[in-house]
Amino acid sequence: MHLRKRILVTGGAGFLGSHLCDRLLNKGYEVLCADNFYTGSKRNIVHLLDHPYFEILRHDITFPLYVEVDEIYNLACPASPIHYQNDPVQTTKVNVHGAINMLGLARRIKAKILQASTSEVYGDPDIHPQPETYRGNVNPIGPRSCYDEGKRCAETLFFDYHRQTQLRIKVARIFNTYGPRMHPNDGRVVSNFILQALRGEPITIYGDGSQTRSFCYVDDLIEGLIRLMDTPDQITGPVNLGNPGEFTVLELAEMVMEMTGSRLELKFHPLPEDDPRQRKPDITRAGKLLDWHPQVPLKEGLKITIDYFKELFKNGDL
């Protein structure tokens, strides 16, 4: 008879997953982390390896998994355009076959399951900010489609399992999140700019830099995921989780340069295909259902993230 809640985190060795494992262990739960280390790293979880209630399993979720847990957080999927476009067919597979496997597991063992969905389900949005009721403007055949449509199909599967089998589901639509343990080479705007500033290289601006993004600090995001998982069964989501502060890419570049005390050349590159012009979450629903309000302003979170990358840089880990 198990008294301690057992939780499976797929993608637990990744950026968000490793922070989630930390927080769940701190809450006193038993955590099973399943990861194939495609973009995740042992470095993210090495501090947990001796924890008596932490277990790591090298596993690819496109194959079935048989474990006994009470809750599943399904995070396994490469998240940055560079990584998810490297093998787009695998990206669709992780999202669709992976979701089917995890939903099948949840159904068999009667576990509650949360899906890490994304603001990319809104595509290049023509409604601003984006509420959960917005159905999106997504290109089904572009270079981002493997991820965007894969995540949309995963949401469909979650809701069909819920309707067909009364499975307890939670769907979080995560907006751009940053913080320590971001993959240094994943080409995301925050990690790119910080690394460029630390190396004294030109800052790469795609397009004219007027496109906007909203950046959520990782601790806030994890708090939102856990609150969503803990809601009563009738709450399924989708729920947007993100920080509504909106910044242009140029503003972010300025901020990073100021905070690292650098003044660098701005190098303009063409805007990648289907790059959304603007993105900002409407988080009214998260406020009402979860009483969730992001606490960490961009400057504060950037400082912690810059310090993290400085440390890697100093230790020769970059």
Among 176, 240, 243, 260, binds ligand UDP (CB under 6 A): 176
Among 31, 32, 94, 146, binds ligand NAD (CB under 6 A): 94
Residue 3 vs 89, nearer CB to ligand NAD: 89
Site string for ligand NAD, 48-87 (x = CB under 6 A): ------------xxx------------xxxxx--------
* Residues 158 and 103: beta-carbon distance below 8 Å: yes
Does residue 246 bind ligand UDP (CB under 6 A)? Answer: no
Q: Which stretch binds ligand UDP (CB under 6 A): 29-37, 63-71, 185-193, 283-291?
A: 185-193
Give every CB contact of residue 195 below 8 A, 6+ residues apart in sequence. Answer: 184, 201, 309, 318
Only one residue has tokens 């599967």, namely 157
147 is catalytic: yes
Q: How do beta strands 239-241 and 203-206 pair?
A: unpaired
192 vs 203: CA distance, rounded Å: 8
* φ, ψ (nearest 5 deg) of residue 202: -60, 150
Closest distance to ligand NAD from the beta carbon of 221 (Å): 8
Point out which residues pair with 174 in neighbouring strands. 118, 241
Closest distance to ligand UDP from the beta carbon of 123 (Å): 11
Buried b (16+ CB within 10 A) or exposed e, 163-189: eeeebbbbbbbbbbbbbbbbbbebebb
Q: Which residues would be at the binding site for ligand UDP (CB under 6 A)?
A: 80-81, 176, 187-189, 192, 204-206, 211, 213, 249, 272, 275
Q: Which residues would be at the binding site for ligand NAD (CB under 6 A)?
A: 10-11, 13-17, 34-40, 60-62, 75-79, 94, 98, 116, 118, 174, 176-177, 183
What residues act catalytically?
147
